[in-house]
Amino acid sequence: AQKITQTQPGMFVQEKEAVTLDCTYDTSDPSYGLFWYKQPSSGEMIFLIYQGSYDQQNATEGRYSLNFQKARKSANLVISASQLGDSAMYFCAMRDLQGAQKLVFGQGTRLTINP
């Protein structure tokens, strides 16, 4: 069974600093996708970034990058130059690309950006 582990329940960062949110995963499937979502206090789930298990390069989307280390089964999210609006819950998720295709989520990390 697939499993996502996010070991940081909460993080506090100063505005404009870079922040790394940790995510490790466990799967026996050779083909999978890794995702990060942001959930602000308003509740919606916002897609941030995607990494495929066969992608050779780390994914980047604007200020977001994914530090993908396949051998270590980690997929950490890096936010550069953090902003007050980055304060939110962040979820790491993975999807089995061959099976039922559901998303398996971690427990989330609550990020607070201090001015």
Q: Which is nearer to another protein, 73 or 105 (CB)?
A: 105
37 lies in the site for another protein, by CB under 8 A: yes
Dist. CA 59–CA 107, nearest whole Å:
22
- Residues with Cβ within 8 Å of 96's Cβ and at least 6 positions away in sequence, in order, are 2, 27, 29, 31, 32, 102
Smallest distance, another protein to C-beta of residue 39, A: 9
Dist. CA 98–CA 105, nearest whole Å:
17
* Contact (Cβ atoms closer than 8 angstroms) between residue 96 and residue 29: yes
From residue 75 to residue 114, the character string flagging contacts with another protein as x (rule: CB under 8 A) and all else as - is: ----------------x-x-x-x--xxxx-xxxx------
DSSP 85: G
Query: Site for another protein (CB under 8 A): which residue of 9, 28, 30, 43?
Result: 43
Footprint of another protein (CB under 8 A): 33, 35, 37, 43-47, 50, 52, 91, 93, 95, 97, 100-103, 105-108
